[in-house]
């Protein structure tokens, strides 16, 4: 989804160029379409549909809270345990929490944060899984056909709020502070996850550098575990947890400052590139 001259439109990116998406002609008239329709119907680019997006919006707005995994990379679980003063322990089941969809912002948006609210802002590059077909009790072997595509989520976190409120929800929920995008790559185009790199930089300094294969709980396993408890819905977004190298993992911690630039990248999806603004 991009914001262009004629309002918000669904767009397809190819080789760095953006094109307006056209609904299938045989489709009945409908008020609105979503990225899920684009992924289901394929690339139907409008004639003369080239766009100059004014702003990239989050490529999908999930129907409810974003579902997030904590401590899903071994080295990150270890660095977080050190910070939290806990014994180092790898999770035996996925640690699942949520953040509201209102926390999401676009791939190039300025992330504006109230300096009265937090002084311990941190970055977390993560793989985002977009659910296509919903379902309950999805077996891990069947999980793949429930995935519409993949995106990048920077699970921006206020560590002081995360600690102060004990539950992680508020520290993860800063309004419009979780960059997501820049696109959703369809599941069929995004295979061989394990070898793909996942990285982040702060002001051009490489901070996180791992592979998707380093996740403790894989995507299929996670979908099975969550859908055992409640049905997943089309458009649900699951953020799969972050590798080591976040600000809180340093001693002393290296939190984000006003004017910092955070870049998050997953091989085959693209980049989030956001400036941090403390107001
Ligand atoms: Mg996270």
Along the 279 residues of the chain, how does pLDDT read in single tens digits?
666 666 788 999 988 899 988 887 777 777 788 899 999 887 777 767 788 888 999 999 999 999 999 999 999 888 888 888 887 788 999 999 999 999 999 999 999 999 999 999 999 999 999 999 999 999 999 999 999 999 999 999 999 999 999 999 999 999 999 999 999 999 999 999 999 999 999 999 999 999 999 999 999 999 999 999 999 999 999 999 999 999 999 999 999 999 999 999 999 999 999 999 999
Residues within 5 Å of ion ligand 1, judged at the Cβ atom: 124, 155, 242
> How far, in Å, is the centroid of ligand 1 from the Cα of 227?
20
DSSP 11-58: EEEETTEEEEE---TTSPP-S---HHHHHHH---EEEEEEE--SEEPP
Strand ranges inside the chain, DSSP E:
2-4, 7-9, 11-14, 17-21, 45-51, 55-56, 66-70, 95-99, 104-105, 111-113, 121-122, 125-131, 147-154, 157-158, 178-186, 197-202, 205-211, 237-239, 261-266, 270-278
What is the C-alpha separation between 172 and 189, in angstroms, rounded?
Answer: 30
pLDDT for 8: 86
> How far, in Å, is the centroid of ligand 1 from the Cα of 98?
10
pLDDT for 6: 60
> How far, in Å, is the centroid of ligand 1 from the Cα of 25?
40
> How far, in Å, is the centroid of ligand 1 from the Cα of 229?
21
> How far, in Å, is the centroid of ligand 1 from the Cα of 41?
31
> How far, in Å, is the centroid of ligand 1 from the Cα of 11?
28
Contacts of 13 (CB under 8 A, 6+ apart): 19, 182, 183
How deeply is 49 buried, as exposed, middle or buried, from its count of CB atoms within 10 A (0-12, 13-18, 19+)? middle
pLDDT for 3: 67
Enclosing H/E stretch for 191: none
pTM of the model: 0.95
> How far, in Å, is the centroid of ligand 1 from the Cα of 22?
35
Contacts of 153 (CB under 8 A, 6+ apart): 66, 125, 126, 127, 128, 178, 179, 180, 237, 239
pLDDT for 266: 98
> How far, in Å, is the centroid of ligand 1 from the Cα of 155?
5
In the block, tokens 């990225």 appear at: 35
How deeply is 25 buried, as exposed, middle or buried, from its count of CB atoms within 10 A (0-12, 13-18, 19+)? exposed
Tokens (6 digits) for 135: 């379902």
Number of H helices, E strands in the chain: 4, 20
> How far, in Å, is the centroid of ligand 1 from the Cα of 10?
27
Tokens (6 digits) for 3: 């914001």
> How far, in Å, is the centroid of ligand 1 from the Cα of 28?
39
> How far, in Å, is the centroid of ligand 1 from the Cα of 125?
7
What is the C-alpha separation between 132 and 266, in angstroms, rounded?
Answer: 21
Nearest to 249 by CA among 208, 205, 203: 208
């Amino acid at each position: 989804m991009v914001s262009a001259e004629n309002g918000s439109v669904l767009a397809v990116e190819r080789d760095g160029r953006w094109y307006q998406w056209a609904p299938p002609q045989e489709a009945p008239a409908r008020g609105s379409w979503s990225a899920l329709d684009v992924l289901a119907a394929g690339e139907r680019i409008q004639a003369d549909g080239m766009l100059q997006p004014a702003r990239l919006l989050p490529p999908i707005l999930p129907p409810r809270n974003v579902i997030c995994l904590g401590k899903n990379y071994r080295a990150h679980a270890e660095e977080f345990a050190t910070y939290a003063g806990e014994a180092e322990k790898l999770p035996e089941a996925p640690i699942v929490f949520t953040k509201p969809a209102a926390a999401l912002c676009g791939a190039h948006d300025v992330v504006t944060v109230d300096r009265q609210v937090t002084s311990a802002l941190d970055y977390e590059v993560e793989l985002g899984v977009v659910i296509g077909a919903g379902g309950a009790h999805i077996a891990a072997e069947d999980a793949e056909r429930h995935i519409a595509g993949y995106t990048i989520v920077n699970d921006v976190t206020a560590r002081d709020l995360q600690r102060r409120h004990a539950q992680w929800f508020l520290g993860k929920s800063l309004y419009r502070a979780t960059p997501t995008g820049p696109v959703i790559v369809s599941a069929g185009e995004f295979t061989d996850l394990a070898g793909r790199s996942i990285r982040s930089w702060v002001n051009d300094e490489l901070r996180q550098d791992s592979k998707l294969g380093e996740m403790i709980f894989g995507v299929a396993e996670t979908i099975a575990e969550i859908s055992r408890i409640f049905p997943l819905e089309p458009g649900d977004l699951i953020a799969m947890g972050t590798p080591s190298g976040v600000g809180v993992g340093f001693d002393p911690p290296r939190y984000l400052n006003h004017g910092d630039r955070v870049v998050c990248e997953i091989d085959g999806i693209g980049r989030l590139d956001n400036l941090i603004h403390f107001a």
